[in-house]
């Protein structure tokens, strides 16, 4: 039961990582990041059950709160990018380059 | 003074500086939205935020001098925390001072940027205090979320918006790794408390795949935050696009706080698994030192060059994490003081010389600076030589590198190879640091070069005070060395110490 949850969470996390690395739309990348965070939440819950301690569950509450704050800031940044570039595709956003 | 962290009121006492800073920042946020936005009001908020930082600084020094100690708990009450707090607060004060001058020149009305600086600083202080992975996570996010906004604080600048987006996406991505690492370490040890993890991680749990994967992911997460080489891609773009005072703040304070948490977690939680992480961290330090310096050689833009130089310095600081003992911790603190002053000073010179709209930032634009404003050129030379680690003229920079090398050589597993590579990397870095000095002093001033404007008061103070302190303590480093040596994390105090820092060099 717990190992299945951990395996599932690892799969979700990997999907998130692959999404961030392959997609080029800022909003989809952001959704993939959220997927990674929620995969971690699943791990925390499963491990908390394994250890019989509440630490993992408390951690999940913190992660959810911070993910909400991050979403607010992230969407604001994406809006400001859209105002400048009329696009949220990272391929169109390349003023800064070495 | 003794705090029992299981009693809420005493926990609040142990968090006094953090509480002062957070509550003050909230009040300033109210003040900044209370009246109509104007440059004058933003300036007022900026000045008040500096005052608030000074009050917090005083409370940190008070607790430090009162020899505060505490029971084991989620936060640390030790000299390492106070020393890191002082560095972070000093960097915040400098960044706010530069921001006041910068917004005046760029006509940037944003009172909230000072509040965000304060909130980021409170996250950093939390990081310096963390003895629980939950607090590490909270501190990192508080610091990072405020920094994402700070990058894009100039809403008119599309480069700023782009920097904010890049920083945000990669920062959130790296948070995912850090968090997964924390989850797996929790799975392997059953605790998020750093001290408990430290006792649980011993030879037997060592082969636990959960623990190994967790440590690996934590390394990835922390290396993203401190910009070590394979994870540094965001740094040059973000540092170039953000407003210069914010860049200075990120290069000095954000890096310092992330490293402080990295060092504490590594010293207290994972000494039992040294053989698992020592080789990856050694390799990371090597490629960061070499990679950062080699790429910096090719940069034409001043801010990008300083960005790569800050990556290279992350490599030098990683050496102290590899050493992970009390010598490493004190070398780390001394290095941070020198690095913070030199970086802040260099960025202040960039602010003094660039034109509205952030033009005039190519290294070629600095040609012949010596002939038009010799003092500014001399101060910049001091900062460059300090970052290079040059004796006497580089001030504290030389001793900072000296102590890192000393710590590497006297570690339980002597890191001779790392010390040699650190020296080689410093020699490579001479190529671009001395290049700037050469351009300023030897090249003629270009005929179409813009005249240097008079330096604004705040920037003036930052530049010359930083240069003065660097030079002064470069001649007499003993005071700082003693402070740094007494400021190692609690768990180190009882641990067998390495041989004392060679006294001959400092006298």
Query: What pLDDT was estimated at residue B501?
Result: 38
Are B165 and A55 in contact (CB < 8 Å)?
no
Alpha carbon distance B350, B354 (integer Å): 6
Q: Which residues pair with B3 in a beta bridge?
A: B70
Which residues are within 8 A (CB) of B125 and not within 5 positions of it... i.e. 6 or more apart? B17, B18, B21, B84, B85, B88, B89, B139, B257
Query: What pLDDT was estimated at residue A60?
Result: 94
Query: What pLDDT was estimated at residue B27?
Result: 95
CA distance, residue A83 to nearest chain B CA (Å): 9
Residues of chain B with C-beta less than 8 angstroms from the C-beta of A96: 159, 162-163, 166, 236-237, 240-241
Name the residue facing A50 among B152, B155, B187 (closest C-beta). B187
Which residues are within 8 A (CB) of B156 and not within 5 positions of it... i.e. 6 or more apart? none
Nearest to B337 by CA among B470, B154, B145, B170: B470
> Is B344 within the bounds of a domain?
yes
DSSP secondary structure code for residue B256 in this structure: H
Query: What pLDDT was estimated at residue A96?
Result: 66
> Is B276 within the bounds of a domain?
yes
Is the torsion defined by CA of B287, B290, B294, B297 positive or negative? positive
Name the residue facing B176 among A37, A69, A78 (closest C-beta). A37
Return the beta strands (E) in B134-271 as ranges: none
Are A98 and B299 in contact (CB < 8 Å)?
yes
Mean pLDDT on A56-61: 93
Nearest to B94 by CA among B460, B480, B479: B460
Contact in structure between B246 and B81 (CB atoms under 8 Å): no
Q: Tokens 């970086």 — which residue?
A: B343
- Residue ranges and CATH numbers for the domains of chain A are 2-92 (1.10.287.3510)
Alpha carbon distance B343, B312 (integer Å): 13
Query: What pLDDT was estimated at residue B504?
Result: 37
DSSP string for A2-42: HHHHHHHHHHHHHHHHHHHHH--BHHHHHHHHHHHHHHHHH
CA distance, residue B105 to nearest chain A CA (Å): 23
Which residues are within 8 A (CB) of B191 and not within 5 positions of it... i.e. 6 or more apart? A53, A55, B197, B200
Alpha carbon distance B232, B220 (integer Å): 11
Name the residue facing A20 among B148, B173, B180 (closest C-beta). B173
CA distances from B111 to B44, B56, B477 (A): 8, 20, 38
Contact in structure between B124 and B136 (CB atoms under 8 Å): no
> Is B460 within the bounds of a domain?
yes
Mean pLDDT on A8-37: 94
Q: Tokens 């603190």 — which residue?
A: B333
Alpha carbon distance B476, A3 (integer Å): 59
The total number of structural domains that make up chain B:
1
Residue pLDDT, tens place only, B56-108? 999 999 999 888 888 888 888 888 999 999 999 999 999 999 999 999 888 88
Residue pLDDT, tens place only, A32-55? 999 999 999 999 999 999 988 888
Cα-Cα end-to-end distance for chain A: 49
Residue pLDDT, tens place only, B126-142? 999 999 999 999 999 99
DSSP secondary structure code for residue B301 in this structure: B
Are A63 and B191 in contact (CB < 8 Å)?
no
Side-chain half-sphere exposure of B244, counting CA atoms within 13 A: 32
Nearest to B306 by CA among B338, B349, B336, B264: B349
Query: What pLDDT was estimated at residue B494?
Result: 43
Q: Tokens 């090597």 — which residue?
A: B286
Alpha carbon distance B229, B65 (integer Å): 38
Alpha carbon distance B98, B348 (integer Å): 7
Residues of chain B with C-beta less than 8 angstroms from the C-beta of A55: 134, 186, 191-192
Cα-Cα end-to-end distance for chain B: 34
> Is B507 within the bounds of a domain?
no
CA distance, residue B172 to nearest chain A CA (Å): 7
Residues of chain A with C-beta less than 8 angstroms from the C-beta of B236: 96, 98
Alpha carbon distance B147, B149 (integer Å): 5
Query: What pLDDT was estimated at residue B205?
Result: 57
- Coil, helix or strand for B355? strand
Contact in structure between B480 and B403 (CB atoms under 8 Å): no
List, in sequence order, the alpha helices (H) in B270-414. 274-297, 302-323, 326-353, 369-372, 374-388, 396-409
Q: Compute how many other C-beta atoms are within 10 angstroms of the C-beta atom of residue B259.
A: 23
Contact in structure between B123 and B142 (CB atoms under 8 Å): yes
Query: What pLDDT was estimated at residue A38?
Result: 95
CA distance, residue A66 to nearest chain B CA (Å): 7
Contact in structure between B325 and B498 (CB atoms under 8 Å): yes
Alpha carbon distance B355, B301 (integer Å): 14
User: What is the Cα Rg of chain B in Å?
Assistant: 22
3-state secondary structure string across B324-336: CCHHHHHHHHHHH
Alpha carbon distance B260, B78 (integer Å): 13
Q: For chain A, list residues whose CB is within 8 angstroms of any CB belonging to chain B.
A: 6, 13, 16-17, 20, 26, 29-30, 33, 36-37, 39-40, 43-44, 47, 50-51, 53, 55-56, 58-59, 62-63, 66, 69-70, 73-74, 76-78, 80-81, 83-85, 93, 95-98
Query: What pLDDT was estimated at residue A91?
Result: 82
Cα nearest neighbour of B165 on chain A: A77
Backbone φ, ψ for residue B373 (5° rounding): -140, 90
* Domain coverage including residue B316: 2-502
Are B176 and A95 in contact (CB < 8 Å)?
no
Which residues are within 8 A (CB) of B300 and not within 5 positions of it... i.e. 6 or more apart? B362, B363, B364
Residues of chain B with pLDDT under 70: 203-206, 358, 360, 489-507
CA distance, residue B60 to nearest chain A CA (Å): 27
Q: Compute how many other C-beta atoms are within 10 angstroms of the C-beta atom of residue B57.
A: 20
Backbone φ, ψ for residue B3 (5° rounding): -110, 130
Angle at B61 between CA B56 and CA B62, to 5 degrees: 95
Contact in structure between B258 and B321 (CB atoms under 8 Å): no
Residues of chain A with C-beta less than 8 angstroms from the C-beta of B304: 98
Residues of chain B with C-beta less than 8 angstroms from the C-beta of A78: 165
Alpha carbon distance B348, B293 (integer Å): 22
Side-chain half-sphere exposure of A24, counting CA atoms within 13 A: 7
CA distance, residue B183 to nearest chain A CA (Å): 6
The two structure tokens encoding residue B163? 């920097």
The two structure tokens encoding residue B467? 């240069």
This model of the complex carries an ipTM of: 0.95
DSSP-derived pairing of the beta strands B69-70 and B2-3: parallel
Count A/B contacts: CB-CB distance under 8 Å. Answer: 120
């Amino acid at each position: 039961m717990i190992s299945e949850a951990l395996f599932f969470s690892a799969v979700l996390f990997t999907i998130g990582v692959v999404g961030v690395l392959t997609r080029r739309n800022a909003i989809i990348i952001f959704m993939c990041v959220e997927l990674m965070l929620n995969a971690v939440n699943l791990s925390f819950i499963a491990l908390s059950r394994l250890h019989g301690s509440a630490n993992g569950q408390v951690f999940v509450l913190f992660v959810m709160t911070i993910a909400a704050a991050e979403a607010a800031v992230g969407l604001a940044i994406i809006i400001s990018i859209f105002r400048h570039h009329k696009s949220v595709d990272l391929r169109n956003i390349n003023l800064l380059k070495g | 003074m003794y705090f029992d962290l299981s009693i809420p009121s005493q926990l609040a006492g142990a968090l006094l500086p953090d509480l002062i800073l957070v509550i003050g920042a909230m009040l300033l946020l109210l003040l900044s939205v209370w009246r109509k936005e104007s440059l004058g009001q933003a300036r007022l908020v900026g000045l008040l935020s500096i005052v608030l930082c000074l009050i917090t600084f005083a409370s940190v020094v008070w607790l430090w001098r009162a020899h505060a100690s505490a029971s084991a708990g989620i936060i640390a009450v030790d000299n390492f925390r106070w020393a890191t707090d002082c560095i972070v607060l000093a960097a915040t004060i400098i960044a706010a001072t530069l921001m006041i001058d910068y917004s005046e020149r760029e006509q940037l009305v944003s009172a909230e940027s000072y509040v965000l600086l304060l909130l980021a600083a409170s996250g950093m202080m939390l990081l310096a205090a963390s003895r629980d992975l939950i607090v590490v996570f909270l501190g990192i996010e508080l610091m990072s979320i405020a920094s994402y906004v700070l990058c894009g604080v100039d809403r008119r600048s599309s480069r700023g918006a782009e920097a904010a987006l890049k920083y945000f996406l990669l920062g959130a991505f790296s948070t995912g790794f850090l968090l997964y690492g924390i989850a797996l370490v929790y799975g392997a040890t059953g605790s998020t408390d750093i001290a408990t993890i430290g006792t649980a991680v011993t030879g037997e749990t060592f082969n636990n795949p959960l623990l190994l994967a967790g440590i690996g992911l934590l390394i990835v997460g922390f290396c993203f935050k401190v910009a070590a080489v394979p994870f540094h891609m965001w740094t040059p773009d973000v540092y170039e696009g953000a407003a210069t005072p914010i860049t200075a703040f990120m290069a000095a304070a954000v890096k310092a706080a992330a490293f402080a948490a990295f060092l504490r977690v590594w010293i207290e939680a994972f000494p039992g698994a040294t053989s698992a992480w020592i080789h990856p961290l050694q390799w990371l330090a090597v490629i960061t030192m070499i990679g950062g310096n080699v790429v910096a050689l090719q940069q034409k833009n001043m801010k990008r060059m300083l960005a790569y130089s800050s990556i290279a310095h992350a490599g030098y600081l990683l050496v102290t994490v590899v050493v992970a003992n009390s010598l490493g911790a004190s070398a780390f603190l001394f290095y941070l003081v020198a690095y913070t002053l030199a970086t802040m000073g260099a960025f202040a010179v960039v602010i003094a010389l660039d034109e509205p709209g952030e033009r005039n930032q190519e290294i070629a634009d600095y040609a012949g600076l010596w002939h038009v404003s010799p003092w500014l050129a001399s101060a910049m030379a001091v900062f460059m030589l300090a970052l290079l680690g040059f004796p006497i003229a580089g001030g504290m920079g030389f001793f900072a590198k000296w102590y890192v090398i000393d710590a590497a050589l006297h570690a339980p597993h002597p890191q001779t190879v790392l010390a040699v590579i650190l020296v080689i990397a410093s020699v490579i870095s001479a190529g671009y640091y001395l290049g700037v000095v050469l351009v300023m002093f030897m090249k003629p001033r270009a005929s179409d070069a813009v005249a240097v404007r008079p330096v604004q008061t705040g920037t003036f103070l930052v530049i010359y005070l930083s240069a003065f302190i660097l030079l002064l303590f470069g001649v007499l480093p003993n005071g700082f060395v003693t402070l740094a040596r007494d400021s190692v994390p609690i768990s180190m105090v009882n641990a067998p110490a390495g041989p004392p820092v060679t006294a001959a060099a400092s006298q």
